[in-house]
């Protein structure tokens, strides 16, 4: 049976006909509950979201087991990555991260004067924790990590990851970007928030753009020690009123919607397998992905593959890493992935 979310998706396929496999979005979002809440929120559309933001912060604090002073809400987690990067940059220090990874924080840090030390992932495209540890110097201001990582999709075992974050946070601030955490089976999901509760200098960020399917509505948050939150808040655009009523209502309505999240996780795994099976058949290696993307060496040069997949009606991304070009393909619906594989097969 076609679920409500799928039916809504089918009726909203992009007008220009391009299937978007470029930005790791959730093809089934927003969930029916979120859509309903958005419509109801229009009644508050003439009001700044001061109260709604404060009340959402309290709600999140309760959910995460911290105080509202430990939380900062942003217009997507991108805004929070930018303000954290600006802070590091203005201090003129260094930020260490794996490479490749989601680079926004480092880009902002560099623009403001910091130095970015990149540590290549290992042969399995996993974060190399030992090498990251050895790249930390006395003037390292932050370690930036994403687990599961974008664009590789790989996951570090949470015990190893937590021990690493705890040790490193004794030397410098550790930023753990958990944008894709909810794609991991719930029994295995572990947030680094536990370390914040124990007093560690860790910043955790989350987003409503991925499993919750609200990328176009913009909402993310960080959890950190209150001092860090104060520091980051100094650089927030609009002084904190750039959050809209619609997304706050939507987020509250779907944050605990385990049915929608389970549906997305399951459909994502089935659709991802379509591309995994094809790549395996063609002998193209790829990182073991735990999320809604696959990362593999570009089978023909990047410019050509981008042009030809776009010509066939699919938007993907190309990344440079280790002297090669790589394709990052976000996972769409099963039908979209079947179409993509057929198109790729014609190109190859
Ligand atoms: N963090 C990671 C690891 C991402 O991959 C993305 C987007 O792709 C973001 C953060 C930014 O998401 P948003 O600004 O939509 O919350």
**Which pTM value belongs to this model?**
0.95
Q: Which atom of ligand 1 is nearest to the CA of 102?
A: 3
In this prediction, residue 241 has a pLDDT band, given cuts at 50, 70 and 90, of: confident
ipTM of the complex: 0.99
**Is residue 176 within 8 Å of 101, Cβ to Cβ?**
no
Report the C-alpha gap between 323 and 328 in whole angstroms.
16
Output the CA 19–ligand 1 centroid distance in Å: 20
Report the C-alpha gap between 144 and 117 in whole angstroms.
10
> Is pLDDT at 11 greater than 70 in this prediction?
no
Please tell me the predicted confidence (pLDDT) of residue 15.
47
Please tell me the predicted confidence (pLDDT) of residue 264.
97
Question: In whole numbers, what is the pLDDT of the chain averaged over residues?
Answer: 94
Q: What are the distances in angstroms from CA 185 to CA 24, 56, 181?
A: 18, 26, 9
Q: Is 76 in the pocket of ligand 1 (CB under 6 A)?
A: yes
| Ligand 1 pocket, mutate which of 146, 150, 247 (most atoms under 8 A from CB) | 150
> Is pLDDT at 4 greater than 70 in this prediction?
no
**Is residue 124 within 8 Å of 81, Cβ to Cβ?**
no
pLDDT of 52-98, one tens digit each? 999 999 999 999 999 999 999 999 999 999 999 999 999 988 999 99
pLDDT (average), residues 101-120:
96
- Set out the domains of the chain in order of their start, with CATH numbers: 4-29+258-347 (3.90.1150.10), 33-254 (3.40.640.10)
In this prediction, residue 3 has a pLDDT band, given cuts at 50, 70 and 90, of: low
Q: Is 209 in the pocket of ligand 1 (CB under 6 A)?
A: yes
Q: Is 207 in the pocket of ligand 1 (CB under 6 A)?
A: yes
In this prediction, residue 5 has a pLDDT band, given cuts at 50, 70 and 90, of: low
> Is pLDDT at 200 greater than 80 in this prediction?
yes
> Is pLDDT at 203 greater than 90 in this prediction?
yes
pLDDT (average), residues 306-316:
93
Angle between helices 32-41 and 245-254 (to 10 degrees): 150
Single out the residue of 24, 3, 33 nearest to residue 257, CA to CA: 33
Q: Is 331 in the pocket of ligand 1 (CB under 6 A)?
A: no
C-alpha angle 10-12-18 in degrees, rounded to nearest 5: 95
Q: What is the dihedral of CA 262, 248, 101, 17, to 10 degrees?
A: 70
Output the CA 144–ligand 1 centroid distance in Å: 13
């Amino acid at each position: 049976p076609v679920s409500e979310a799928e039916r809504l998706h089918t009726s909203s396929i992009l007008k220009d006909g391009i299937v978007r496999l470029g930005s790791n979005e959730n093809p089934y979002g927003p969930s029916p509950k979120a859509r309903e809440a958005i419509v109801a929120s229009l009644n508050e559309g003439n009001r700044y979201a001061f109260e709604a933001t404060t009340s959402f912060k309290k709600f999140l604090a309760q959910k995460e087991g911290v105080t509202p002073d430990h939380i900062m809400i942003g217009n997507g987690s991108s805004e929070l990555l930018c303000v954290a990067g600006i802070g590091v940059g203005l201090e003129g220090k260094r930020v260490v991260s794996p490479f490749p990874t989601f680079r926004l924080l480092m880009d902002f840090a560099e623009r403001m004067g910091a130095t970015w030390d990149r540590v290549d992932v290992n042969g399995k495209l996993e974060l190399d924790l030992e090498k990251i540890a050895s790249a930390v110097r006395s003037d390292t201001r932050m370690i930036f990590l994403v687990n599961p990582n974008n664009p590789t999709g790989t996951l570090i075992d949470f015990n190893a990851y937590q021990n690493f974050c705890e040790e490193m946070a004794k030397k410098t601030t550790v930023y753990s970007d958990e944008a894709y955490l909810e794609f991991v089976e719930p029994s295995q999901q572990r947030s680094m928030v536990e370390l914040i509760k124990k007093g560690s200098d860790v910043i955790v960020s989350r987003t409503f753009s991925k499993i919750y399917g609200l990328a176009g509505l913009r909402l993310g948050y960080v959890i950190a020690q209150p001092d860090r939150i104060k520091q980051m808040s100094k650089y927030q655009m609009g002084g904190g009123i750039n959050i809209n009523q619609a997304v706050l209502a939507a987020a509250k309505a779907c944050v605990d919607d385990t049915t929608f999240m389970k549906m997305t996780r399951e459909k994502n795994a089935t659709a991802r397998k379509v591309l995994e099976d094809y790549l395996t058949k063609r002998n193209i290696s790829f990182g073991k992905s735990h999320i809604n993307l696959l990362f593999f060496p570009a089978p023909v040069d990047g410019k050509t593959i981008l042009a030809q997949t776009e010509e066939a009606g699919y938007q993907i991304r190309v990344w440079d890493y280790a002297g090669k070009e790589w394709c990052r393909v976000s996972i769409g619906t099963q039908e979209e992935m079947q179409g993509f594989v057929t198109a790729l097969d014609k190109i190859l």
